[in-house]
Amino acid sequence: MVAEVLRSGAYSDEVVANLVQRRFVATMYDVAPPAKNYGDGSAYDPDAIAAVGPMDELRRGRRGGGSEDRNGRVSADGYPTALFLAPDGERLGDGLWGIMPPERLLRGLRDVIAKWPKYFEPTTEERAVVARADAQPDDADAQLDAARLSWELAEFEAVVSRADRGLGKAAPPIRAELQYLNARALTCLGRDDEARTSLLAIGETTIGEAGAALTLAVQVALARLELRAGKPEAAVARLRPFCTFTAPMRHSGAVLYTTGLALWRQGAHDEAKVLWRQHRRELPFDRLARRSAASLGLDEAEAFRNQELFETKGWW
């Protein structure tokens, strides 16, 4: 159902997941008590209901129900995406409602952060990373640490700025990761041409397991830019060779999902499903495995389809 759409969609996005992990304490609960629950009801939590309030009251004034149009797009304005409580239990705003792509969820999280900044102060460790990078602008390693942190905080302009500073004297492995983070941030900023240039500049300069993982990440990032440019055939050609592997790596799941998405956009639906099934079967705990499942239409569950199949805006 709609929860599946969110779980496999915006909440499985790397940018969203990073920011939630850095700045929020995430929790979920099932509103239906066991007696009225068609699942096992194990996530039913009276403490959560007492703290949040009755769902009927929260939803008042919002259209209920979820519906899927003939093109597969889901509307569900009465479904809660995120509610926010301060550490003392005070409700912060009305929360976020409806099915949304990662970019819109990120905007909603940023709004909460901007409105109640006292709950989102950097940690001591984060301050130290930033202080070191500021004090040593020519130290590529310090800039890389700060760029990684900025990436996890979805501070895209800051990532670009750190990369600019660090690239000057960076050794090859540091240089490659800085260029990669720079490209990812540029993509999120909508500067796709610059992102592509940054990715292509990485080349084959990395070695070892980390280097191999980065090489795969670069290919996925380039393929996603090709998808954004409306060139799914280029994305398929780029990623297809990486869909067969003996030992999967960190981004192997992203390769399988993204290649499937590119095939789907080409109209090769059956071929896409083969890869999504492979993803589910071989990497069931991968971050994007749910998205592949939702793309299949989930024979094994009740769910709407993965919205990225139908909607390109707001996905990066």
Partner 1 sequence: MHPALRFVLWPSLWASMLFGVSAAQAEPQRRWDDGGDLDKIVWNRPFARAQELARESGRVLLIKPILGGGNVPKPGGVPCGGKNDCEGSW
Q: Note whether 234 binds partner 1 by CB under 8 A.
A: no
- Given the complex with partner 1, which of 21 and 312 has the nearer CB atom? 21
What's the CA gap between 163 and 148, in Å, rounded?
Answer: 10
191 lies in the binding site for partner 1 (CB under 8 A): no
* Nearest-angstrom CA–CA distance, 212 and 178: 16
Of residues 10 through 49, those in contact with partner 1 by CB under 8 A are 11-12, 14, 16-18, 20-32, 36-45, 47-48
Q: Map the footprint of partner 1 across residues 92-131, applying CB under 8 A.
A: 92, 109, 112, 116, 119-121, 123, 125
Among 9, 15, 74, 79, binds partner 1 (CB under 8 A): 79
Q: Phi first, then psi: give them for residue 102, nearest 5 degrees.
A: -55, -40
- In the stretch 142-161, what mask flags binding to partner 1 with x, by CB under 8 A? ----------x---------
Tell me the window of 138-146, 181-189, 200-208, 242-250 that interacts with partner 1 (CB under 8 A).
242-250
Tell me how far, at minimum, the Cβ of 28 lies from partner 1, in Å: 4
User: Residue 315, Cβ neighbours under 10 Å: how many?
Assistant: 17
| Helices marked H in 153-207 | 156-167, 172-188, 192-200
- The CA–CA distances, whole Å, from 184 to 43, 160, 168, 179, 240 equal 35, 9, 19, 9, 21
35's tokens: 């007696």
**Residue 206 in contact with partner 1, rule: CB under 8 A:** no
Question: Over the range 141-163, which residues count as b (16 or more CB within 10 Å of their CB) and which as e?
Answer: ebbbbbbbbbbbbbbbebbbbbb
| In the complex, minimum distance from the CB of residue 267 to partner 1, in angstroms, rounded to a whole number | 27
Q: Can you tell me which of 259, 286, 295, 314 binds partner 1, judged by CB under 8 A? A: 286
**C-alpha distance across the termini of the chain, in Å:** 24
- Residues in the interface with partner 1 (CB under 8 A) total 82
Nearer to partner 1, 113 or 268 (CB): 113
Amino acid at 115: K
Q: Of the candidates 9, 80, 101, 102, which one interacts with partner 1 according to CB under 8 A?
A: 80
